[in-house]
Structure 1
Amino acid sequence: MQAPVMFVNTGNGERQTGRQAQMSNITAAKTVADIIRSCLGPKAMLKMLLDPMGGIVLTNDGHAILREIEVAHPAAKSMIELARTQDEEVGDGTTTVIILAGEMLALSLPQLDRHIHPVVIIQAYKRALADALSVIEEVSIPVDIENNDQMRQLIGSSIGTKFTSRWSDLMCDLALKAVRTVSHNVGGAKQEVDIKRYARVEKVPGGEIEDSCVLDGVMLNKDITHPKMRRRIENPRIVLLDCTLEYKKGESQTNIEITKEEDWNRVLQIEEEQVKAMCDAIIAVKPDLVITEKGVSDLAQHFLVKHNITALRRVRKTDNNRIARATGATIVNSVYDLTERDVGTHCGLFEISKIGDEYFTFLTKCKDPKACTILLRGPSKDILNEIDRNLADAMAVARNVIFHPFLSPGGGATEMAVSVRLAQKAKAVEGVAQWPYRAVAEAMEVIPRTLIQNAGSSPIRVLTQLRAKHAEEANKTGAQGGGAWGIDGDAGKVVDMKEFGVWEPQAVKLQSIKTAVESACLLLRVDDIVGAKAAKQAGMGTGGGGEED
């Protein structure tokens, strides 16, 4: 899908040097930041993205938008990569990073006009970054991760800007429960919280959004393989396999020549004996439920049904790993290696239910499951996809706080505190480096300013009030800036975040500023954009790609 943007395309042989390259990079970065700017804050606008197949995506999630738009300029691609890095590192703050980086680059233009060398600008930016990080740590407060109300408020501020904000309490509870379920100690005080692998989101259209829940176990989109198998088992003994329950045929070179009818019968008999031996090895550990990642032949189903064993086949590897975590079973590669130790007994209930037109397998009531499934219900696929994106942010926020239990005031308060403090410290910076150092202080104001604009208020008036509040606080408290004054994103007014109750994980704030400054420095260092030579023919693409025409 083509974004409504004009980018300078540096095609083959086209070259931009020195000043021209820097201008081109800064323009591209600003353009990307402008696309995403209206997506910040609770009054954020939505973007409608059209994909080449004619489908549409409606979202205000910065990362989702940037992932979909197509750009030609290398600097714009590098900006989009930023959002991906931020999303993988801390899972939130993708829009903030892009807007900050765009503003830092935009404010480096006047410095370049003053003929300050890019290296001097970069040094000043790095120095300002170190000071900014210490300011963030000063205005942050520790948080008790066991306190549900505090955690709910925190997660609420991350999804308050999103589509799901009306079901904020429900989403916070889902995210919190899911993260607490999958977190476990890996020895000592070290926590492992792998939400990507062990907290799966299943989206089932239909029902109401309020019907969404976190299951204390795993749900699969599977039905049993044989109609006579049990569809509900309490306290099942579960065996997980990573092998087929089918006749092992010979390799491709194997030829059998049959001359007598009895030989044919013997071949079939051997096949049956082999499958029976496999099933006997399974039956020996007396399971109620067998789940395999591969196939189960009709003959194997027959032997299993005889012993009242239910089988599920062709389960995804990732789902099988989750079942193993939730039920305490071990995935076994050969049925002949099965022992009592490998049988999972932590699951309280296995049952198959029909939701809409499809059958789903539920393995629930697990004792201390370390994996879970979040079942999302909603009116349509588009809405479910948007809820899924928002929930991923909420879970990332909860995970960050467990790892790094400090909160920074939200609503642009942290950024404004950094801006005011850096402006004060800039006076002590010697020489021309003072200008770029001050530019970082100005760039930090872009977050509260954007929040005010998106709420429809007058940026100049409200921002002046906010700056005055922070300057007053900084003078009053001396070195310790207690700046918790920020912007109420709904009304566009200045409020005290301590009373207003909008907090964000400190990890997200630190990462946003680090990533934004680092990327601005990286793009400022570029003084030449050269189109690489296209390969003349297939097979020539390996050597000498970077030469100039």
Structure 2
Amino acid sequence: MMQQPIIVMNTNQQRESGRKAQMSNIVAGKTVADIIRTCLGPQAMLKMLLDPMGGIVLTNDGNAILRECEVAHPAAKSMIELARTQDEEVGDGTTSVIILAGELLSMAAPFLERNIHPIVIISAYKKALEDALATIDRIAKPVDVTNRAEMLALIKSTLGTKFISRWSDLMCGMALDAVRTVAQDLGGNKVEVDIKRYARIEKVPGGEIETSCVLDGVMINKDVTHPKMRRNITNPRIVLLDCPLEYKKGESQTNIEISKEADWNRILEIEEEQIKLLCDRIAAVKPDLVFTEKGVSDLAQHYLLKNNITTIRRVRKTDNNRIARATGATIVNRVEDLKESDVGTRCGEFKVEKIGDEYFTFLVGCKDPKACTILLRGPSKDVLNEIDRNLQDAMAVARNVYFAPRLCPGGGATEMAVAVALTENAKSIEGVAAWPYRAVADALEVIPRTLVQNCGGNAIKTLTTLRAKHAAGTPGASSFGIDGITGNVVDMQKYGIWEPAAVKVQTLKTALESACLLLRVDDIVSGLSKKETRAPQQQQAPPEDMGQEM
């Protein structure tokens, strides 16, 4: 007869269950939200982060701050993942999503204390999310992606809260130009905008921020392999390789027996012939420039120089892909397969310039490049890193608008419009679920309230005015929001602050769904901490038989 397995739970495990676990999660979520609450809006404060190696990060980007935080609580880790998800998905709203999720969790605490079941709260939250998305869809307006002025105004609202807001005209123009360069029409109203692979940001310390620009081509941190090779070529013919220009030894050849001096000379001749054959095959397509991801031997450099071909070696694969897209060349894996159609001819000018102590290769003046490099100049690495982070956000927003060309009013106007709509809807809901449903409306007001607080305004007075404007229901009432600099109530239509609807939708979905997920947890079991504390005590205890031997 088969015995039943006996399940034994380790008594050393720390366990939180039921109400205690839910309240613990709520406190953890609120704590994470409080860390970055002051980082919302144009008057946002910066956080200085020190890593163990002594590096410094100065930023008000929610994702960058939380990425550097070390937390032990599982719910806090889950909250930090929210910012990462938001950043990867839409690139903006990382601070908003954490603040909103923290507020939604804290709003649930009183209901749990009154013994309302978490599933009732979650179902009310889900119903509120559906109605909120319908409200956003109603107040969103379409945008013309070909209208440069409209697109710049939109990107400016993203950068208005960032460190680089004082150079916003320059940076917004750069972000828009980069996205437009990289955008590729796939037909059937489909657009591909791969900014991670084809829009590279090169940071070069020194110079003024105003001299930063988007190049109509590619820039890489490389110099030519031989000092006598040409460093300036107009309309170059470009060949891209993914193979070494070196002597290829036989794969099964392990040893060579040399009996006389002539044999040694013959081995060297064979190597020379092989390299010459390689270079002749490249020269047959008459290129001016050769880029390879692998090495180039001294002998190959000699033969290529004789053919007046400039060579650059050990190019990164990502850079080679960008050069291929910008110049129309095809990356070739074997020199034997090289043909005329693989040569890139769309580049206007090749030049090597020295910036500071380093040499940079420029391939500029490309016709319809579809890949670009953003050259950033600035006083220090810290400043350049922050500009890089801000510019990535701006490009992500421009990319989102290409995919979903709809805008919502900024400055907390959308959140307040949704909050007023939900408060009105809550009146028609019967039973206990009406309270959590209304709580979502109250939680959404945290965004305009935080904007007012961060610029030193009177939160209660300003929010009352803003709520009254939205509740009036007059045409255009839903576009009233908070001026993040003065803290006053202004019409976003006239003020010109718009945000992509995709960012607002993603923020709401991520915040509400994560709050529901954490409220659903009713048991936290950790088997780590007590084991770790017991281990040193066991090491210190003397062996039992030590006293007997003595």
| Alignment TM class, shorter chain as reference | over 0.9
CA distance in 2, matches of 1:295, 1:148: 44
CA distance in 2, matches of 1:12, 1:494: 56
Q: Tell me what 2:164 maps to.
A: 164
1:294 partner amino acid: K
3-state DSSP of counterpart to 1:186: strand
Aligned: 1:521 with 2:516: yes
Q: Tell me what 2:5 maps to.
A: none
Aligned: 1:499 with 2:484: no
Counterpart contact for 1:12–1:531, Cα < 8 Å: no
Q: Tell me what 1:250 maps to.
A: 250
CA distance in 1, matches of 2:113, 2:59: 38
Larger radius of gyration: 2
Counterpart contact for 2:14–2:527, Cα < 8 Å: no
Q: Tell me what 1:259 maps to.
A: 259
Aligned: 1:512 with 2:507: yes
CA distance in 2, matches of 1:256, 1:104: 75
CA distance in 1, matches of 2:228, 2:488: 65
CA distance in 2, matches of 1:48, 1:426: 42
3-state DSSP of counterpart to 1:250: coil
User: Offset at 1:250?
Assistant: 3.4
CA distance in 1, matches of 2:306, 2:339: 21
3-state DSSP of counterpart to 1:363: strand
CA distance in 1, matches of 2:188, 2:350: 34
User: Offset at 1:533?
Assistant: 6.3
TM-score (norm 2): 0.93
Q: Tell me what 1:118 maps to.
A: 118
Counterpart contact for 1:139–1:482, Cα < 8 Å: no
Q: Tell me what 1:349 maps to.
A: 349
Counterpart contact for 1:111–1:436, Cα < 8 Å: yes
Change (3 A) 1:491 1:12: farther
User: Offset at 1:50?
Assistant: 0.7
Q: Tell me what 1:49 maps to.
A: 49
3-state DSSP of counterpart to 1:428: coil
User: Offset at 1:297?
Assistant: 0.3
CA distance in 1, matches of 2:101, 2:359: 48
Change (3 A) 1:190 1:239: same
CA distance in 2, matches of 1:515, 1:410: 19
Higher deviation after alignment, 13-22 or 337-346: 13-22
Q: How do 1:293-312 and structure 2 match up within 5 A?
A: 293-312=293-312
2:367 partner amino acid: K
User: Offset at 1:188?
Assistant: 2.1
Counterpart contact for 1:225–1:311, Cα < 8 Å: yes
* Residue deviations 1:323-345 (CA, integer Å, cap 9, x gap): 00000000000000000000000
Q: Tell me what 1:379 maps to.
A: 379
RMSD of equivalent CA atoms: 1.4
1:121 partner amino acid: I
> Any gaps of 5 or more consecutive residues in structure 1?
1-10, 537-549
2:515 partner amino acid: A
Q: Tell me what 2:25 maps to.
A: 25
User: Offset at 1:369?
Assistant: 0.3
CA distance in 1, matches of 2:403, 2:221: 33
User: Offset at 1:12?
Assistant: 7.0
CA distance in 2, matches of 1:322, 1:460: 52
User: Offset at 1:430?
Assistant: 1.4
Q: Tell me what 1:71 maps to.
A: 71
Q: Tell me what 1:530 maps to.
A: 525
Counterpart contact for 1:455–1:491, Cα < 8 Å: yes
Q: Tell me what 1:327 maps to.
A: 327
CA distance in 2, matches of 1:253, 1:15: 64
Q: Tell me what 1:8 maps to.
A: none
CA distance in 1, matches of 2:74, 2:247: 54
> Any gaps of 5 or more consecutive residues in structure 2?
1-10, 532-550
Counterpart contact for 2:350–2:363, Cα < 8 Å: yes
Counterpart contact for 2:409–2:479, Cα < 8 Å: yes
User: Offset at 1:255?
Assistant: 1.1
Q: Which runs of 4 or more aligned residues in structure 1 lie more than 4 Å from their structure 2 counterparts after TM superposition? A: none
Counterpart contact for 2:247–2:271, Cα < 8 Å: yes
Counterpart contact for 2:469–2:477, Cα < 8 Å: no
